[in-house]
Amino acid sequence: MAERIIPPNEIQVVLSRHAAFLAGRPGGVRLQQPGGQYSRLRLDGVMLDDAVLPRSEFADSSLAGAQLRRADLFCADFQNADLTRVVFDRADLRGANLCRAVLRHASLSQVDLRPGQIMIADTSESQQVNANLDGAKLDGAKLNNAQLDQASMAVSSAKGASFANASLFGVNLAGADLEGANLAGARLKDANLVGANLAGAQMKGADLRGANLRNVDLTRVDMEGVSLQGAVYRKGAPLPPEVEAILQRHSLWIATGGDEGDRAVLSGLELDGCSFAGCDLRAAELHGTSLNGADFTSAQLMFASFAQARLREAVFDLAEASGTNFAETDLAKSRWRGTRVVGVDIYNTRSQRTGKTVYPRFLNADLSGADLRGAVLEGIDFTGVKLDGTNLAGADLRDCTGLRKG
């Protein structure tokens, strides 16, 4: 990070005039500067209440202890800024960029962090810009009654922060650390909380309808009065501590596209009877793992590999097993009701189709006595698969090969 410098004289003058405006002194002038340039400056303790600074640049600056109540900061850029103890109460931060900003013990009560609409240059069209708080440090911050709808807060840290009665509709909190946070009465409908740490969090009366809570351990969370209709969450007993830690790192790996955390490797472990129901195990490696009687109900298993694993009597009901590898796996008497076991189209870095599809693999697997009623199976070669007593009644078999009559 570049060294923060003292503001030049012209900026100090406008800041002084604004301070006089707030104090009602002669010569005071309200600061109104759309697109103002304040990057890499030392602005600790600055008084900017009621300032009009939409689209202004504060990246890499230090505003520790600053006052920005009711300020117009529409689409402002605070990336990597030090905003420790800053007061943003009732500020307009729609579409603002607070990626990796430090907001420890900041106050953002009733702040507006909803998406902003900006005009596209040289057109009459507009586009939505969501507030970005990815990787932000919000430990101890106060966001009571804040408007955070659709904001991205992936892998942010908000230990002990208060989101009481905040609006967090559709917010992305994947991999976020919310240990001890207060989310009582918060509206988290359709929020993404994959792998979030909610240990000791207060969720009383929160709205989590349709939320994604895969890989979240809810055993140490106050869930009194929480609405969970349509939400995906874990319902089984906690996993062994070392497995929980692996899932936490795996969630971070997913949330950051592999930049942080680690892919889950559970190969060779003895995990018979464990519940992974509702977990996200995309691309996880479980080679040779003993998982007899394990529960994967509603789990996300895309591209996971269970090669040579032992999964007798395991339950995969309603799981997503697209592109999953079950080669040489013992799946005798397993259950797959309503499971999707289909191919996955591969895209390049520009989100363009490559024309390649990865189909699930069952090479030399044992599915004898398995219950696949209602499962969707696509592109699978069943040649060499043991199917004695397998129930395929009502299964949707799309382009599958190697099945014998009867």
- How many other C-beta atoms can be found within 10 angstroms of the C-beta atom of residue 90? 18
pLDDT at 5: 87
**What's the mean pLDDT in 50-67?**
97
**Which tokens go with 277?**
């129901």
Across the chain, which distance is largest between two alpha carbons, in Å? 94
pLDDT at 126 over 80: no
**Which tokens go with 81?**
């800024």
**What's the mean pLDDT in 343-361?**
86
pLDDT in tens, 76-117: 999 999 999 999 999 999 999 999 999 999 999 999 999 987
- How many other C-beta atoms can be found within 10 angstroms of the C-beta atom of residue 205? 17
What sign does the dihedral 286-302-359-260 (CA atoms) show? negative
- Read off the pLDDT band of 176 (50, 70, 90): very high
For a pLDDT cut of 70, what percent of the chain falls above it?
97
- Read off the pLDDT band of 3 (50, 70, 90): confident
pLDDT in tens, 261-309: 999 999 999 999 999 999 999 999 999 999 999 999 999 999 999 999 9
Dist CA 234 CA 304 (whole Å): 19
What value does the mean pLDDT of the chain take?
Answer: 94
- Read off the pLDDT band of 210 (50, 70, 90): very high
Contacts of 93 (CB under 8 A, 6+ apart): 73, 74, 76, 108, 111, 112, 113, 131
Cβ-contact 207, 187 below 8 angstroms: yes
Beta strands, E only, 285-334? none
Pairing relationship of beta strands 116-119 and 126-129 according to DSSP bridges:
antiparallel
**Which tokens go with 290?**
């003993």
pLDDT at 353: 82
* Distance (Å) of CA 27 to CA 20, 45, 172, 231, 353: 7, 21, 45, 57, 62
For a pLDDT cut of 90, what percent of the chain falls above it?
87
* Distance (Å) of CA 252 to CA 153, 173, 233, 239: 13, 11, 17, 18
Output DSSP code: residue 351. Answer: S
**What's the mean pLDDT in 356-367?**
95
The lowest-confidence range among 71-75, 86-90, 295-299, 352-356 is 352-356
pLDDT at 117: 76
- Read off the pLDDT band of 215 (50, 70, 90): very high
Dist CA 13 CA 17 (whole Å): 6
Cβ-contact 149, 171 below 8 angstroms: yes
- Read off the pLDDT band of 375 (50, 70, 90): very high
* Distance (Å) of CA 399 to CA 363, 375, 379, 380: 16, 14, 5, 7
Dist CA 98 CA 79 (whole Å): 5
pLDDT at 121 over 80: no
pLDDT at 133 over 70: yes
Dist CA 103 CA 151 (whole Å): 16
- Secondary structure (3-state) at 330: strand
pLDDT in tens, 4-49: 888 889 999 999 999 999 999 999 999 999 999 999 999 999 999 9
pLDDT in tens, 39-58: 999 999 999 999 999 999 99
The CA-based dihedral angle spanning residues 271, 276, 277, 279, taken in that order and rounded to the nearest 10 degrees:
-170
Dist CA 323 CA 62 (whole Å): 47
- How many other C-beta atoms can be found within 10 angstroms of the C-beta atom of residue 99? 21
pLDDT at 337: 96
Dist CA 25 CA 217 (whole Å): 55
Dist CA 111 CA 209 (whole Å): 24
- How many other C-beta atoms can be found within 10 angstroms of the C-beta atom of residue 359? 19
- Read off the pLDDT band of 348 (50, 70, 90): confident
pLDDT at 354 over 70: yes
pLDDT at 199: 93
pLDDT at 300: 96
Length of the chain: 406
pLDDT at 237: 83
pTM as predicted: 0.87
pLDDT at 124 over 80: no
- Secondary structure (3-state) at 14: helix
